[in-house]
Chain A
Amino acid sequence: MTSAGTIEVEALRKVFHQTGTGEAVVAIERLDFVVAQGEIVAIVGQTGCGKSTFLNLLIGLDRPTDGRIVIGGRVPYDQFDHFRGVLAAVFQQDRLLPWRTAIDNVRLPLELLGQQPSDQVERARAWLDRLGLARFEQAYPHELSGGMRQRVALARAFVIEPALLLADEAFGHLDEVTAAALRTAFVDLARTAGNTAILVTHQLEEAIELGGRILVFGRPGKLLADIDLKTWPVGAVASLRAEIQRMLQSNAPEPRFAVRTERESRA
């Protein structure tokens, strides 16, 4: 049986049609890869490479034009309700509900899952505490700094202990110190819980800092490279950085990073 956090992406394609003209815009040309349960993966690419579109497809907010995404043996768009409590996302903006206090924002997913109010409070409080926000649980989002709000959003994602955690440019707009701290917290929490985590970013440094697997996306939505940083000696990371940058600029894969499709891997 497939683990709940395993992701299989096969011949995925997404085309949008412009309002008015009806002109087709290819957001994702073709994507094939597999992410194993508990793996932490960074998706890096320039603006317009379909990263956010891919994440929306992964969450199940949108339907692929062709191909498929399967998470734990199920299709997120078609079997939407199955993923209740299975996945959680942190977005570029914190997306906190402004009329709820920090603790009530963290409780939100637990309310949706129908948990006991006392359990909701206990678990939300524990996560806020863990992220250093114990003193601010009754603060409204507008009373918190950007970094604090994003920590509340992290707590909201982690509180349901999902099998799959997604972050869409979640730390890119914060100052470097705060971003690094939150990134570390995100990865540590994911590792501790054994979650599969996908972190989408346009910052190469951020992807490298995660120290796990990097999927390099080219335009429009194609896989240029699939790199496992653990197989790279520490001293070679600088040259790897330069090679990824070259790939991103040329929008073409380097031969040594040739990506095999899922079907080819299986064969």
Chain B
Amino acid sequence: MKPGDTIGGETVAALEARAPFRFPREMVVALAVLAIAWEIVSLLVPPFIVPGWGRIFKSLATLRMDFVLVTLARVVGALVISFALGLGLAVVMYASVAVERYGRPIVRLLMAVPVVCWILFAVLWFKWVEFRIAFVLVVVCGPVFLVDVLDAMKGVSKDLRDMLRSFRPTRAQTFTKLVLPATVPAILTSWKINLSLAIRVVTIAELVGAVTGIGYGLVVAQELFSVSDVFAWTLILVVILFLAEAVLTRVEERVLRWRA
């Protein structure tokens, strides 16, 4: 059966696209094996090195869940700003070769600076904690959005460009009818990459100066030498990342349903 073949008036590809949800058996089995192995190790070593699941879940019940919301709000807010800036600058650099030639080296320079250095700069330059965290996230994630989107815009197939040009579109029409829609897959991939990056970076940024958020929670746990709290926070971070990626994957499946 080929995608173009039809069954009952509908193409095979269309029917396949509506296939029911598939249970991720392999992932569940792999994680279960890891959890069991963890529990076995926790029985063999002292709890201040590897706490068992019982201790970790007990810690989970005592953690401040409002910190999770605070961290999530910081991540989402900074990603929205980073995306808006990245997309805006990508459009400008796409429209002007000169701006791109001067802008690229600066972007590459920004991307080469280690996250820790950005955190130190933020502490030295800015007083307001929220601004520090937002600055670090935007300066780390913004260039990633910019480069991903710009490369996708420049990578639009010449065949499609020529096809559209044969109909004489305006510059704005070329952008809205061809370039922007063709860039959507890259935008979604960039969101996935940046989400994972932002969750890791925000935690480090919150270690310095913040009095809320998961990063701050981790500092407190470390100061109290509560290993189970550290693992509980880590578990929360991993779950957030998994859930966020799952949501983005669903969005991707919906938005990119035109893909084979």
Which chain A residues in 81-102 approach chain B with CB under 8 Å?
81, 83-85, 87-89, 91, 93, 95, 97-101
> Shortest CB–CB separation between residue A149 and chain B, in angstroms?
8
Is the Cβ of A142 less than 8 Å from the Cβ of B258?
yes
- The answer to whether the Cβ of B260 comes within 8 Å of any Cβ in the partner chain is yes
* Known contacts A108-B177, A145-B2, A148-B4; A139/B11 CB under 8 A: yes
Chain B residues lying within 8 Å of A108, measured Cβ to Cβ, are 164, 167, 177
Whole-angstrom distance from the CB of A155 to the nearest CB of chain B?
Answer: 14
| Interfacial residues of chain A within 58-87, with CB under 8 A of chain B in the complex | 59, 61, 80-81, 83-85, 87
Task: Name the contact of B14 in the complex, choosing from A80, A88, A143, A146 (C-beta under 8 A).
Answer: A143
- A99–B184 CB distance below 8 A: yes
Contact A142 B168 (CB under 8 A): no
Residues of B within 8 A of A (CB): 2-5, 9, 11-14, 159-160, 162-170, 173, 177-178, 181-182, 184, 256-260
Residues from chain A with a CB closer than 8 A to the CB of B12 are 143
B155 to chain A minimum Cβ distance, whole angstroms, is 14
For the complex of A and B, list the 7 residue pairs with the smallest distance between their C-beta atoms, beginning with the closest: A145-B4, A142-B260, A143-B13, A84-B168, A95-B163, A143-B11, A140-B258
Smallest CB gap from B174: residue in A = A112
30 contacts between A and B (CB under 8 A): A56-B162, A59-B165, A61-B162, A61-B165, A61-B166, A81-B168, A84-B168, A91-B162, A95-B160, A95-B163, A97-B177, A97-B181, A98-B258, A99-B258, A101-B258, A108-B164, A108-B167, A111-B173, A111-B177, A112-B168, A112-B170, A112-B173, A112-B177, A135-B9, A140-B13, A140-B258, A143-B12, A144-B4, A145-B2, A160-B167
What total count of A-B pairs have CB within 8 Å? 80
With A and B bound together, what is the CA distance between A30 and B93 in angstroms? 40
Cα(A143)–Cα(B75), bound, Å: 38
Decide: A143 and B160 in contact? CB cutoff 8 A.
Answer: no
Residues of A within 8 A of B168 (CB): 80-81, 83-85, 112
Q: What chain B residues lie within 8 Å of A141 (beta carbons)?
A: 258
- CA A61 to CA B160, docked complex, whole Å: 13
Residue from A81, A87, A101, A142 in contact with B166 in the complex, judged by beta carbons closer than 8 Å: A87
Bound: A109/B182 CA distance, A:
17
Q: How far is the CA of A135 from the CA of B184 in the complex (A)?
A: 28
* Residue among A81, A140, A145 facing the most chain B CB atoms (10 A cut-off): A140
Kindly list 20 other residue pairs between chains A and B, CB separation below 8 angstroms, not including A88-B166, A112-B167, A140-B13: A59-B165, A81-B168, A83-B168, A91-B159, A91-B163, A93-B159, A95-B159, A97-B181, A98-B258, A99-B184, A109-B167, A111-B173, A112-B173, A140-B258, A143-B3, A143-B4, A144-B3, A144-B4, A145-B2, A148-B4
Among B162, B166, B182, B257, which residue has the most Cβ atoms of chain A within 10 A? B166
Q: Does the CB pair B11–A59 fall under 8 Å?
A: no
Residues of the A chain whose Cβ atoms lie less than 8 Å from the Cβ of B166: 59, 61, 87-89
Which residues on B sit within 8 Å (CB–CB) of A112? 164, 167-170, 173, 177
Find out whether the CB atom of B163 lies under 8 angstroms from the CB atom of A88.
no
The residue of chain B having its C-beta at the shortest distance from the C-beta of A138 within the complex is B14
Q: How far is the CB of A170 from chain B (nearest CB, A)?
A: 12
Residues of chain A within 8 A of B258, CB atoms compared: 98-101, 140-142
Listed residue (A88, A91, A108, A143) with the most chain B CB atoms within 10 angstroms of its CB: A143
Kindly state the separation between the CA atoms of A155 and B31 in the bound complex, as whole angstroms: 52
Q: Which residues from A are CB-within-8-Å of B162?
A: 56, 59, 61, 91, 95
Q: Which residue of chain A has its CB nearest to the CB of B168?
A: A84
Residues of A within 8 A of B159 (CB): 91, 93, 95
Check A97–B4 contact: CB distance below 8 A. Answer: no
Q: How far does the alpha carbon of A83 sit from the alpha carbon of B178 in the complex, in Å?
A: 20
C-alpha gap A91/B257 in the complex (Å): 25
Docked pose: A81 CA to B260 CA in angstroms? 35
A144, B9: Cα distance in complex, Å: 12
Residues of A within 8 Å of B167, CB to CB, are 84, 88, 108-109, 112, 160
CA distance A81 to B168 in the complex (A): 6
Q: Let me know if A139 and B184 touch, CB within 8 A.
A: no
A61 to B158 CA separation, bound complex (whole angstroms): 11
Residues on A with beta carbons closer than 8 Å to the beta carbon of B2? 145
Nearest residue, chain A, Cβ from B162:
A61
Pick the residue among A89, A100, A136 that contacts B11 (CB under 8 A): A136
